[in-house]
């Protein structure tokens, strides 16, 4: 189904949280969507929420090279192009003292967050070039880029810092192809990712920090929402951000300035 009148966006980790909100918002803005994730039932729910808007479900693990290649080729084949890539899929992984963090736990976080981001972009860029340009939006974090106080989050922080470095490196490399690359760096956001975080021996790594009342100044301590981040992603996907590239944007209500 070629959609000549619509741009096409790929969103990874589209089944929940920020990915879900971004996919729904981009669909409402007129994009055809590639919904990529590991749980088909979640992706089906997102597609159903979009109503009759064009969407293709892509079941794949972002760290699996062949699965990602097949999924992205399938999306381009279905809709005829890819214009926007939202590399959102990621995990918090295990947070533990560095001498207790197992190499396998380190590898799992690096594999999904960094290798997954790389494979998403690696397989998508030929299609963005063929479309004459586009926008890549990498979902990073305030961890590893603005704050370093999450106890034991070394592997996670390294991946988030690496994503910003990837953003800036690729902004220069891909600029000649009219492909913009930016990063969004959320602070505390109400999603389910914290339910999948394994924190061990917190007391061995935590550094107490005293905050003013409420550690998110703009909201008095209330976490942001996935829709807040989706608003920023929609802006970076649109032509309204046509002169912005290589830029990390912190969306944390000022939280990272206190830590």
The CA distance from 106 to 168, in Å, is: 24
What radius of gyration do the chain's Cα atoms show? 18
pLDDT of residue 5: 78
Q: Which helix (H) or strand (E) holds 40?
A: helix 40-49
pLDDT of residue 10: 98
Q: What angle do CA 7, 11, 12 make, to 5 degrees?
A: 155
Closest CA to 200 of 245, 152, 134: 152
Q: What angle do CA 148, 154, 157 make, to 5 degrees?
A: 60
The Cβ-side half-sphere exposure at 146, using a 13 Å CA radius, reads 20
The CA distance from 82 to 160, in Å, is: 25
**For residue 62, with 0-12 CB atoms within 10 Å meaning exposed, 13-18 middle and 19 or more buried, which class applies?**
buried
The CA distance from 19 to 37, in Å, is: 9
Q: Which of 25, 156, 167, 253 is catalytic?
A: 156
pLDDT of residue 219: 66
Closest CA to 247 of 184, 179, 195, 200: 184
The CA distance from 65 to 82, in Å, is: 18
pLDDT of residue 151: 87
pLDDT of residue 87: 98
Contacts of residue 107, Cβ cutoff 8 Å, sequence gap at least 6? none
The CA distance from 174 to 93, in Å, is: 30
pLDDT of residue 197: 59
The CA distance from 254 to 209, in Å, is: 15
**Do residues 221 and 215 touch, judged by C-beta distance below 8 A?**
yes
One pLDDT digit (tens) per residue for the chain, 259 residues: 666 678 999 999 999 999 999 999 999 999 999 999 999 999 999 999 999 999 999 999 999 999 999 999 999 999 999 999 999 999 999 999 999 999 999 999 999 999 999 999 999 999 999 999 999 999 999 999 998 988 899 999 999 999 999 999 999 999 999 999 999 999 877 765 555 556 655 555 555 555 445 576 666 677 788 898 999 999 999 999 999 999 999 988 778 777 6
**In the annotation, is 118 catalytic?**
no
Q: What domains can be seen in the chain, in order of their start residue? A: 8-252 (3.40.50.720)
The CA distance from 111 to 159, in Å, is: 9
């Amino acid at each position: 189904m070629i959609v000549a009148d619509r741009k096409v966006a790929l969103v990874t980790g589209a089944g929940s949280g920020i990915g879900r909100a971004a996919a729904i918002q981009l669909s409402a803005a007129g994009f055809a969507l590639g919904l990529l994730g590991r749980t088909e039932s979640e992706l089906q729910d997102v597609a159903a929420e979009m109503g009759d808007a064009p969407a293709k479900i892509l079941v794949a693990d972002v760290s699996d090279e062949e699965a990602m290649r097949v999924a992205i080729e399938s999306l381009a084949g279905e809709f005829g192009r890819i214009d926007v890539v939202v590399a959102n899929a990621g995990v918090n992984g295990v947070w533990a003292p560095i001498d207790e963090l197992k190499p396998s736990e380190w590898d799992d976080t690096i594999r999904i967050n960094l290798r997954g981001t790389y494979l998403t972009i690696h397989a998508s860029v030929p299609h963005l070039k063929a479309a004459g340009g586009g926008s890549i939006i990498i979902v990073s974090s305030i961890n590893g880029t603005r704050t370093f106080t999450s106890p034991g989050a070394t592997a996670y922080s390294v991946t988030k810092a690496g994503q910003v470095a990837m953003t800036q490196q690729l902004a220069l490399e891909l600029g000649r192809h009219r492909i913009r690359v930016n990063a969004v760096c959320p602070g505390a956001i109400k999603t389910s990712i914290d339910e999948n975080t394994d924190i061990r021996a917190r007391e061995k790594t935590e550094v107490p920090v005293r905050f003013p009342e409420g550690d998110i100044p703009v909201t008095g301590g209330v976490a942001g929402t996935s829709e807040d981040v989706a608003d920023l992603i929609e802006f970076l996907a649109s032509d309204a951000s046509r002169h912005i590239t290589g830029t990390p944007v912190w969306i944390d209500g000022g939280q990272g300035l206190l830590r």
